[in-house]
Amino acid sequence: MSAIQKVQHPHPKSRKYGAYQSEIYANGMFRNIMPTVTTDPNKLEEQAKQCMSKKGYNYVGGGAGERATMDANRLAFRQWKLVPRMLRQTTHRDLRVELFGRTHDTPLLIAPIGVQVIFHEDKETGIADVAAELGIPYILSTASSSTIEEVAQASGDGARWYQLYWPQDDEVTISLLNRAQKAGFEVLVVTLDTWALSWRPWDLDSAYVPFVKGIGDQTGFSDPVFRRKFKEKHGKEVEEDIHNAALEWQSDVFSGAAHTWDQLELLKKRWNGPIVLKGIQHPEDALKAVEAGVQGIICSNHGGRQLDGAVGSLEMLPEIVEAVGDKITVLFDSGVRTGVDVIKALALGAKAVLVGRPWVYGLGIAGKAGARDVLRGLLAASNDLDQSMGLAGIQNVAGCDRSMIRRCHYPGDRNSSN
């Protein structure tokens, strides 16, 4: 028997994310240049807190109520441990995934985060540019401080999805969908859990909600249907009465009135592409999504920002995958802080994973360059996706399965890097 092992070559189309770790060491050892943004996920939030405005930090760092759901999200990840395998062909990893007929370089997705201008002036357009550079699909929030068209231009040829905070006014909803489709957004992500804003003490204690002053309302303020209706009602252009325009827009988008399953028909008729429902936490709701005829769901609790005391999203992911994983595309969101977290979610059945707060902290520290560093770190550095897959004996995303993970209960385990 030959002892010569066949040399494994990298897939010609896979990106070399792992080079970032070597780049950091080379910059430090030979040029005395240290990372601007910490590579330690447990120190990232504190660094961002020192760099950001208090209101900006509180907005992203805070959650609903006592932040119990945020804690649950992180604790859920701590209960699952990787079981590494050895002597496997994992020198070169392939992170590519296929979602809704399109191949992407990585299973990461940029979670829809609103009002990014309060974190840094680079805002949504800067992050869309970074996402395109790194090959990560960008999901634009309806609560954006940049217009749909501005983000599309910044994204260029990058993959982009549109997240809908669903207005009560059908004519406005249709206008938003038309604009997003015209601007090249391929997938519609419908957020189900935020028809009203939750009780968020960190914002309440500062009496801060940026939308009432028109910050984060650019989607509405730039919409021709909303603008026409506002002028018909008030006899003014939006720019002449920002206060009332903001209240008008918020009363439509965060109305306090929930939509129902039957109303999805409007979106299905008006959106020519995949529709994904974000905020699914219960297997029965996942089954209803299949019955409704949408193409995907996101197992998510809005990063702990909506319902306090809710179950961690990762806790529900296996049940949801068991119920509908062979019928619909299941994605995951909430509590992701490291590349290892991404592997765990993939191993439990998610097809791709949304990441939010970490890159926002990077944005707050050093603008889009800081967000870029955080995302490159998630993909490549010591707590990475690429490197950790290799060390665990996983060659590609398909290899992230239940055989690679085990549930463990350690009394001393604690939540980390909220």
State both tokens at 392. Answer: 């665990």
> If DSSP states are collapsed to H, E and C, what string results for 310-332?
CCCHHHHHHHHHHHHCCCCEEEE
Q: Are 164 and 148 in contact (CB under 8 A)?
A: no
Neighbours of 379 (CB within 10 A): 25
**pTM for the full predicted model:** 0.94
Q: Is residue 167 within 8 Å of 176, Cβ to Cβ?
A: yes
Produce one character per residue of 63-87: b if its CB has 16 or more CB atoms within 10 Å, e if not: bbbebbbbbbbbbbbbbbebeeeee
Selecting among 104, 120, 234, 302, the annotated active-site residue is 302
Spans of all domains in the chain:
20-198+262-407
Using the CB atoms, write b or e for 220-229: b if 16+ within 10 Å: bbbbebbbeb
pLDDT of residue 413: 73
What integer pLDDT is reported at residue 9 of this predicted model? 57
Contact 249, 215 (CB under 8 A): no
Residue 387 pLDDT? 80
CA distance 126 to 123: 6
Query: Which residue type, as a one-letter code, is found at position 111?
Result: A
Can you tell me the distance from the alpha carbon of 271 to that of 71, in angstroms, rounded to the nearest whole number?
36
pLDDT recorded at residue 382: 37
| Model pLDDT, residue 388 | 87
Q: How many residues does the chain have?
A: 418
Lookup: tokens for 166: 């669903």
Residue 146: both structure tokens together: 């940049």
CA distance 146 to 144: 5
Per-residue model confidence as pLDDT tens for the chain (418 residues):
444 445 455 666 667 666 788 899 999 999 999 999 999 999 999 999 999 999 999 999 999 999 999 999 999 999 999 999 999 988 888 999 999 999 999 999 999 999 999 999 999 999 999 999 999 999 999 999 999 999 999 999 999 999 999 999 999 999 999 999 999 999 999 999 998 889 999 999 999 999 999 999 999 999 999 999 999 999 999 999 999 999 999 999 998 899 999 999 999 999 999 999 999 999 999 999 999 999 999 999 999 999 999 999 999 999 999 999 999 999 999 999 999 999 999 999 999 999 999 999 999 999 999 999 999 999 874 346 888 888 889 999 999 999 999 998 877 777 777 6
Q: Which residues contact 235 (CB under 8 A, 6 or more apart)?
A: none
pLDDT tens, position by position, 148-184: 999 999 999 999 999 999 999 999 999 999 999 999 9
Q: Which fold has domain 20-198+262-407?
A: TIM Barrel (3.20.20)
pLDDT tens readout for residues 235-274: 999 999 999 999 999 999 998 899 999 999 999 999 999 9
**How many whole angstroms separate alpha carbon 145 and alpha carbon 142?**
9
| 302 carries an active-site annotation | yes
C-alpha 115/C-alpha 361 separation (Å) is 14
The backbone region for 376, taken as left when phi is positive above 0, alpha when psi lies in -120 to 50, beta otherwise, is alpha
